[in-house]
Amino acid sequence: MEELIAEVRGTNGAFYKCVIKNIHEDEVTVSFENDWQPPKRANFTEVRPTPPKLTDKPEYRENEQVEVSGLL
């Protein structure tokens, strides 16, 4: 079965890449890349699909809020 990649919100409000390991009634069990955190259960409201890959360069306006993702 193919891994289900998602993002889970941390306590600081940032989203972190994870893999959904199990789906429960009202939450999911996730594990993190490189095991930098132990697997945990997260409510559905804390998990989202990964954003789509950008094909076009976005146009940003002054004072516009953006989300930044860094690659390690």
Residue 37, domain extent:
4-49
Mean pLDDT value of segment 55-65: 86
Q: For position 1, what pLDDT does the model report?
A: 59
Amino acid at 55: T
Q: Is residue 55 part of a domain?
A: no
What does the pLDDT look like over 6-37, one tens digit per residue? 999 999 999 999 999 999 999 999 999 889 99
The yes-or-no verdict on residue 69 having pLDDT over 90 is no
User: CATH no. for residue 11?
Assistant: 2.30.30.140
What local confidence, expressed as pLDDT, does residue 70 receive?
66
Question: Within a domain: residue 66?
Answer: no
pTM greater than 0.85 (yes/no): no
The residue among 33 and 62 whose pLDDT is bigger is: 62
Question: How many structural domains is the chain composed of?
Answer: 1
User: 70 in a domain, yes or no?
Assistant: no
